[in-house]
Amino acid sequence: MSALLTLSGVHTHIGRYHILQGVDFTVPEGETTMLLGRNGAGKTTTLRTIMGLWRASAGTIRFAGRGIEIDTTPDISRAGLAYVPESMAVFSDLTVRENLVLAARDAALDDTRLNWIFGFFPALKKFWLSRAGTLSGGQKQMLSIARAIVEPRRLLLIDEPTKGLAPAIVGALVECLMEINRAGTTVLLVEQNFRVAQAVGNYVCIMDNGRIVHAGTMADFAADEEMQQRLLGLSLDTHQ
């Protein structure tokens, strides 16, 4: 399996804080890779560094064989990456439709792709002309993901999409993420819900204190409860 994204010796400083301390991992093309770890391990910083929102202070980031660690965020986006932050980045004063138009690089919306998105998130069709600020938290998360996938992308970076959402909405998000991957988009996903991670992930990288401490298949990691307890602090209740 070829690597679409490779981080080698990546360090990131935010002010006087040394957050990423030599991050090394690969994201295989066509797969979903989970980036897991305890709070504060450096997962969000990793995604933001990949997107150029925070600049790597050392190391290399290669996407599709080309170094992007010194590229601007718009250039990285144009290369085929999209980022869904934990903060549900939507324009509250704009309608659902206007949010998606802004996310489309050619300022046009493909009806076939829109209907595909509506199949997962029917609320977006229902509130098509409503201001995004009036949506519920779950609906804003749907819109945030829809903005990232309104056009085909080679790599989708998503930060904790299910956090605080109702179980029914989580189920729709899981189905959407799996379908996005089946349709050809590679996914790098940060997720605290281990059941979700196990359902959608093919590979897993575990972070601790700004470094990758384990990488392998999700199947192997899901079968090893001792490793889950040691690296993530998961209890047996997680599997019930």
Give 130-170 pLDDT, tens digit per residue: 999 999 888 898 899 999 989 889 999 999 998 878 887 88
Distance in angstroms (rounded) separating the CA atoms of residues 132 and 148: 15
H helical segments located in the chain? 43-50, 73-78, 96-103, 111-120, 122-126, 137-149, 167-182, 194-200, 218-222, 225-232
What is the model's pLDDT at position 170? 87
Q: Return the number of other C-beta atoms located less than 10 Å from residue 125's C-beta.
A: 13
If phi > 0 it is left, if psi is from -120 to 50 it is alpha, else beta; for residue 12 that is beta
Question: Which residues lie below 8 Å from residue 182, measured CB to CB, with a gap of 6+?
Answer: none
User: DSSP character for 162?
Assistant: T
2 against 163, higher pLDDT: 2
pLDDT in tens, 207-236: 999 999 999 999 999 999 999 999 998 654
Smallest CA-to-CA distance from 240 within 195, 203, 179, 191 is with 195
Average pLDDT, the chain: 92
User: What's phi and psi for 64, nearest 5 deg?
Assistant: 55, 40
Angle value at C-alpha 145, between 234 and 116, nearest 5 degrees: 120
Residue appearing with tokens 């990758």: 212
pLDDT of residue 138: 84
Residue 233's Cβ-count burial label (10 Å; 0-12, 13-18, 19+) is exposed
> Which of 163, 190, 162, 166 shows the shortest CA–CA distance to 176?
162
Fold of 3-88+152-239: Rossmann fold (3.40.50)
Examine the pLDDT at 240 and tell me if it is beyond 60: no
pTM for the whole thing? 0.91
Percent of the chain with pLDDT over 70: 96
What would the pLDDT profile of 13-57 be if each residue is shown by its tens digit? 999 999 999 999 999 999 999 999 999 999 999 999 999 999 999
